[in-house]
Amino acid sequence: MAINIKKFAEQYHKEYNFLYDNLDQVAGYDEAVRAFDEFIKIPANVKFVSEFADYLKDIIVCDRDAAAFMFALEVLS
């Protein structure tokens, strides 16, 4: 995946904060969570998620994390 990890992290944090501020009650939230579940079934995507987790020094563990990841991916891809 050819996405700048620093820019991706910045967008991820924007998306995460937006979700947090709105108590996850945003359009597309459930769809983004389901999309993440499908996204990580592809080995190349698992590699990117792993690289991103290493960069953040954190892992994607909850629905909000997953939705923020997918929203950031949508913006930057």
CA 40 – CA 49 distance, rounded (Å): 8
Residues 65 and 16 sit within 8 Å (Cβ to Cβ): yes
| Pair of tokens at residue 41 | 């079934």
**pLDDT per residue as tens digits for the range 6-17:** 999 999 999 999
Please state the domain extents for the chain.
5-76
Q: Measured between alpha carbons, how far is residue 67 from residues 15, 58, 70 in Å? A: 8, 15, 5
Give the predicted TM-score (pTM) of the model.
Answer: 0.95
Q: What is the pLDDT of residues 13-53, one digit of tens each?
A: 999 999 999 999 999 999 999 999 999 999 999 999 999 99
